[in-house]
Amino acid sequence: DCGCSTKSHVLEPDAGPTQLVGRTDGDNIVFFDAPAGDADAQTWAGRFATLRITNAMGLSLQGELV
C-alpha cells in the first residue's frame, strides 16, 4: 500500500463486470473496482476518477476510488 493518489482517465471496463482500467497522467495502467451497486460500468468510460494507489506491480497499478 503506497498510499499515494493519482487522477486516472477511465478507458473501459476490464473483463470482469466491476473491474475498470484507466491510465494515469504518466501513462501507467491502473486497475480499480467500480463503485458497489454500479450496474453499468461502461458509464465510467471517458471520465476521470481520483484513485488511491494500493499496489504497484511490474507493469500496472492497483487502486481504489477516493
* Cα separation, 11 vs 20, whole angstroms: 8
How far does CA 34 lie from the centroid of its chain? 8
**What is the predicted pLDDT for the residue at 42?**
75
Q: Write down the pLDDT at residue 45.
A: 85
Residue 50 near residue 65, CB atoms below 8 Å: yes
Exposure of 20 in the CB half-sphere (CA atoms within 13 A): 29
pLDDT of residue 39: 64
Q: What is the pLDDT of residue 18?
A: 74
Q: Could you report the average pLDDT of every consecutive run of 10 residues in the chain (66 residues)? A: 70 65 92 78 85 94 92
